[in-house]
Amino acid sequence: MRRPWVAGNWKMNGSHRANAELLSSLGDVSIFSDIDVAVVPPTVYLQTVIATVAQSSLSVLAQTVSEFESGAYTGEVSVAMLQDLGANGALVGHSERRQLFAETDKQIADKFAALKNAGLQAVLCVGETLAEREAGETLAVVSRQLLAVLDRHGPEAFDHAVLAYEPVWAIGTGLTASPEQAQAVHASLRAVFAAFDEARANQLRIVYGGSVKGSNAAGLFDMPDIDGALVGGASLLADEFLAICKAAQKSA
Ligand code: 13P
Closest atom of ligand 1 to 172 CA is 4
Q: What is the model's pLDDT at position 172?
A: 86
Q: Residue 178 gets which letter from DSSP?
A: P
Task: Check 67, 94, 103, 132 and give the catalytic one.
Answer: 94
Q: What pLDDT does 183 receive?
A: 98
Q: Ligand 1: distance of its center to the CA of 234 in Å?
A: 8
pLDDT digits (tens, 9 = 90+) for 29-51: 889 999 999 999 999 999 999 99
**CA 83 from chain center: how many Å?**
18
Protein residue with least CA distance to atom 7, ligand 1: 232
Distance (Å, whole) CA 14 – CA 5: 23
Choose among 51, 57, 48, 39: nearest CA to 123. Answer: 39
| pLDDT for the residue numbered 203 | 98
Ligand 1 pocket mutation pick from 6, 166, 220 by most atoms within 8 angstroms of CB: 166
Ligand 1 mean position, distance from CA 72 (Å): 32
94 is catalytic: yes
Average pLDDT over residues 98-121: 98
CATH architecture of 5-251: Alpha-Beta Barrel (3.20)
pLDDT digits (tens, 9 = 90+) for 7-34: 999 999 999 999 999 999 998 888 999 9
Single out the residue of 74, 165, 64 nearest to residue 115, CA to CA.
Answer: 64
Rounded to the nearest whole angstrom, what is the distance from the C-alpha of residue 32 to the centroid of ligand 1?
22
Please say if 166 is a catalytic residue. yes
User: Which has the closest alpha carbon to 97: 135, 57, 124?
Assistant: 124
**pTM: predicted TM-score of the whole model, two decimal places:** 0.97
List ligand 1's pocket residues with C-beta within 6 A: 9, 94, 166, 171-172, 209-212, 230-234
Nearest atom (ligand 1) to Cα of 171: 4
* pLDDT at 75 exceeding the cut of 90: yes
